[in-house]
Structure 1
Amino acid sequence: MAHEPDGQALISPARGTRPANRRELIVRAAADLFYRKGYATVGMGEVARAVAIGPSALYRHFRGKQDLLATVVGNALEAVDVTLAAASSSDVGVRLAAFALEHRGIGVLWRREARHLSADNRAQLRLVTDRIVTRLIDLIRERRPALGVAEADLLARSALAVGISASFHSLSLPEPGFNNLLGELITATIDAPIALADPMTSHLDTVAAVLTGSRRETILVEAAKLFARNGFAGVSMDDIGATAGITGPSVYNHFPAKTDILTAAMFRGDEWLRMGMNRAFAQANDPCDALRRLLRSYAEFVFENPHLIQLLISESVHLPDAVRDRGRAAQRSYIAEWVHLAGQVHPTWDLSSARIRVQAAQTIVNEISLTPQFRTDPAVESAVVVIGARLLAIAQD
């Protein structure tokens, strides 16, 4: 589960000045605004004001907002690539942690905002992400020569997930405490025991489609998938109607507005997570067993409903303020249950450290469930539970 990022706006340069690094300042300001407010809600005029220039001056540097977003995300990914190119198999965890904390917005920008880019821009950025993953795979296999490519790939993406987990919360620790903890978690992920089938075998292709029982349910399920894939702002009522087998206007017979569909989908996800949590608590023998069962319950839900997790991560910015606040409170409350359990199992952990560990474990599950090639291997869900348990320092059965 993800907590919406908090933060403070950058300080604007004095109006009328012409700093030599104006383009860099524009990119930094846009990155901050896209991170805190969401790409769809930020206008070019707001970016221009953040660097004390007029909109026309902004367009001398960038063709439009999408061009600016492509630059923001591309620069961030290139910086990750440079960091890993300089890393060794022995210090990769430390280097990746330091980078992640210096550039805390990168995870949100990539996971939430990159979907707004053109197909060509996304394809170019995927080349960079593939290069990043390949570099990390090579470092992991140098560190652990017995690993196969599939295992190293999963560990590489999991390690990156631990790094970007800091994007989804505003927690801090006195330094070097945060750097050290995040580095330890990344290293623990890289060194986690793992075994996957090689080559990966598909099980999802054999699953028969199940028809939903009502038109309203069909709309809700299909709209949630569309919102997750294309972003709330990129989906129209006509799109929703087409996937549900009806006309766009007919959707209004079941939901008053598009935001009502998003609200229903997001709160359904939260309710299902809480049902799984309550079941885990009811079946547990002690706090450690409860935390173990809670981790498994979370992984089961996420792998079965990756589109709902994508909504929880990225689309709450489009909800009305009161609904968004309620959703954030529900997310924080759910995470607090994990942190409370972790504190019972490990009384020496402070609350911030425990939550950083919880967020890292959850982000691994989220990121791997949203990676298409891993959703086709039934062993992956178990593998991420093992990695998550390692980060939470709990033994597996």
Structure 2
Amino acid sequence: MTEQTTPRRIRPADRKSQLAALASALFAAHGYAHVSVADIARAAGVTAPSVYRHFADKQALLVAAVLTGGDRLQACTDRVLSRPECALDDLADELAELGVDYPQAVSMWRANSAFLTEDQNTEILLRTREIVERWGAVIRANRPQLGDRAAVRVAWAVLSVAGSLTVHHTRLSNTRAKAALHELISRTLVLDTDTAPPFTAPTLPPSGERTRRDEILDAASELFADRGYTAVGIDDIGAAVGISGPSVYNHFPSKLSILVSITRRSATTLEAGVIAAYARTSRPGPLLRGLVDSYVAAITTSPDLVVGFRSARILPAQTDTSEHLDSQRRYVRRWIDLLRDVHPGLPSEEAAVAVHSALSIVNDAVGMRRGTARDEFTAEMAYLMKGVLGV
């Protein structure tokens, strides 16, 4: 992490909890892999040895940050469910406020699960699932016609929407951000995945003859999505395609070049979806729905997109990688512009919040592999995204 953070000296009595909170903020801003214990100590106005008196290592700080977020999410849930005859609007109010005031509470685990142990992930998953199921019970109480499973799937989508502010940097006042999140959460809460229409993947041009390079990219993409880029070595990639690690260098000069190629391939896939959508229609509503369908099809058939969107903090600021980040921004900008065409008068900032909320629903579900093997998964994802966008 190169950006300097203004030190905030903390009282000894508060040190452990505040170190966890500062670590959470730094991990969210810069990515776990790019924050050191020294960075956290500097932000706290203490020395690195002082941090180690409370935490064994950086991973222990991550666990504390994730659990602190879980505590906040639990407290928010307890607070809203304590209200007599809790209404859906009450749930939207509380989650919108939490999503703006402490967005890491609903996103820290999803963004950093690759850096946790299997046991830690299981513990946090069970805790999160319990919270989401409690939201599902509130949804069912207010919408008795909704099935139990549909209510829980809607609740998971609500979690993604509430935590979506951490994936972009749209400048918006807290008041406007809370209002925007409240509106999007409210839209999500009235959806019913059991009514999702059948999903038909857009037809894209054939990609051509496959090569050994493609096999290496496929294997690396799976490994990066599963373990995270930093935890995967060249030998791992070679073994996945039946060759030695050094043999991979006959096709790519470095592990970074493999990641760059994956991100370029993901950008090419998205652009193919855009071209196919524009070939079918020029009307904003159908166009945006077509982009949703092509995105869902792409992210559910290859891990490239998950790897690509996670790579923003991994790829260094150099010419051959900045083009990928620019491509991502242009792609999202197209969604934002189309959404504003569909909803005249919608400010650009609110449109950006809506688009990132919709993308977060499927990104989170695929990234956490939550129900992705079900036949109806793609249809439900496209339905939820279109519902949040109002298209």
TM superposition score normalised by structure 1: 0.88
2:277 is the counterpart of 1:271: no
Q: For the Cα contact (< 8 Å) 1:196–1:380, is it kept in 2?
A: no
Whole-angstrom distance in 2 between the partners of 1:50 and 1:163? 27
Whole-angstrom distance in 1 between the partners of 2:377 and 2:122? 26
| Residue matched to 1:179 | 178
| Residue matched to 2:236 | 239
Name the aligned partner's letter for residue 315 of structure 1: S
Displacement of 1:239: 0.7
| Residue matched to 1:201 | none
1:189-268 mapped onto 2 (5 Å cutoff): 189-195=188-194, 213-268=210-265
| Residue matched to 1:314 | 310
Displacement of 1:153: 1.9
Would the alpha carbon gap of residues 250 and 368 (structure 1) be closer, same or farther in structure 2, given more than 3 Å must change?
same
Q: Deviations over 1:249-280 (max 9, x none)?
A: 11111111000111101111111011101110
2:385 is the counterpart of 1:392: no
Would the alpha carbon gap of residues 86 and 10 (structure 1) be closer, same or farther in structure 2, given more than 3 Å must change?
farther
Name the aligned partner's letter for residue 94 of structure 1: D
Whole-angstrom distance in 1 between the partners of 2:169 and 2:380? 28
Question: Which deviates more, 228-237 or 85-94?
Answer: 85-94
Question: Which deviates more, 323-332 or 289-298?
Answer: 323-332
Q: For the Cα contact (< 8 Å) 2:107–2:164, is it kept in 1?
A: no
Name the aligned partner's letter for residue 309 of structure 2: I
| Residue matched to 1:111 | 110
Q: Deviations over 1:65-88 (max 9, x none)?
A: 111110001110221122112223
Would the alpha carbon gap of residues 165 and 301 (structure 1) be closer, same or farther in structure 2, given more than 3 Å must change?
same
Whole-angstrom distance in 2 between the partners of 1:92 and 1:388? 20
Q: Deviations over 1:140-171 (max 9, x none)?
A: 11121122222112111111111111111122
| Residue matched to 2:199 | none
Q: For the Cα contact (< 8 Å) 1:280–1:290, is it kept in 2?
A: yes
Name the aligned partner's letter for residue 308 of structure 1: D
Would the alpha carbon gap of residues 85 and 243 (structure 1) be closer, same or farther in structure 2, given more than 3 Å must change?
same
2:13 to 16, 20, 45: 20
Whole-angstrom distance in 1 between the partners of 2:245 and 2:103? 39
Whole-angstrom distance in 2 between the partners of 1:276 and 1:137? 34
Whole-angstrom distance in 2 between the partners of 1:196 and 1:159? 17
SS in 2 for 1:372: coil
Would the alpha carbon gap of residues 294 and 328 (structure 1) be closer, same or farther in structure 2, given more than 3 Å must change?
same
Displacement of 1:248: 0.9
Would the alpha carbon gap of residues 44 and 281 (structure 1) be closer, same or farther in structure 2, given more than 3 Å must change?
same
Whole-angstrom distance in 1 between the partners of 2:339 and 2:192? 22
| Residue matched to 1:75 | 68
Question: Which deviates more, 68-77 or 326-335?
Answer: 326-335
Whole-angstrom distance in 2 between the partners of 1:18 and 1:285? 60
Displacement of 1:285: 4.4
| Residue matched to 1:35 | 28
Would the alpha carbon gap of residues 132 and 324 (structure 1) be closer, same or farther in structure 2, given more than 3 Å must change?
farther
Would the alpha carbon gap of residues 94 and 18 (structure 1) be closer, same or farther in structure 2, given more than 3 Å must change?
closer
For these two proteins, the number of residue pairs brought into alignment is: 370
Identity over aligned pairs, percent: 30
Q: For the Cα contact (< 8 Å) 1:108–1:168, is it kept in 2?
A: no
2:156 is the counterpart of 1:157: yes
Whole-angstrom distance in 2 between the partners of 1:213 and 1:220? 11
Q: For the Cα contact (< 8 Å) 2:239–2:245, is it kept in 1?
A: yes
| Residue matched to 1:54 | 47
Displacement of 1:19: 4.4
Whole-angstrom distance in 1 between the partners of 2:336 and 2:142? 32
Q: For the Cα contact (< 8 Å) 1:106–1:167, is it kept in 2?
A: no
Displacement of 1:225: 0.6
SS in 2 for 1:382: helix
Q: For the Cα contact (< 8 Å) 1:238–1:249, is it kept in 2?
A: yes
Q: Deviations over 1:200-234 (max 9, x none)?
A: xxxxxxxxxxxx93322111101111011101110
Would the alpha carbon gap of residues 286 and 80 (structure 1) be closer, same or farther in structure 2, given more than 3 Å must change?
same
Displacement of 1:108: 4.8
Q: Deviations over 1:113-137 (max 9, x none)?
A: 2211122222221221121221111
1:330-349 mapped onto 2 (5 Å cutoff): 330-349=327-346
The gaps in structure 1 that reach 5 residues or longer are 1-7, 198-211
- Structure of higher RCO (CA pairs closer than 8 Å, 6+ residues apart): 1
Would the alpha carbon gap of residues 108 and 313 (structure 1) be closer, same or farther in structure 2, given more than 3 Å must change?
farther
Displacement of 1:106: 4.2
Would the alpha carbon gap of residues 74 and 313 (structure 1) be closer, same or farther in structure 2, given more than 3 Å must change?
farther
Whole-angstrom distance in 2 between the partners of 1:138 and 1:10? 42
| Residue matched to 1:11 | 6
Name the aligned partner's letter for residue 131 of structure 1: E
SS in 2 for 1:321: coil
Displacement of 1:371: 4.3
SS in 1 for 2:378: helix
SS in 2 for 1:315: helix
The gaps in structure 2 that reach 5 residues or longer are 81-85, 197-208
Q: For the Cα contact (< 8 Å) 2:26–2:40, is it kept in 1?
A: yes
Q: For the Cα contact (< 8 Å) 1:237–1:251, is it kept in 2?
A: yes
Q: For the Cα contact (< 8 Å) 1:73–1:114, is it kept in 2?
A: no
Question: Which deviates more, 223-232 or 136-145?
Answer: 136-145
Would the alpha carbon gap of residues 289 and 115 (structure 1) be closer, same or farther in structure 2, given more than 3 Å must change?
same
Q: Deviations over 1:285-337 (max 9, x none)?
A: 412211121111111112222x2232123233222211443322111110111
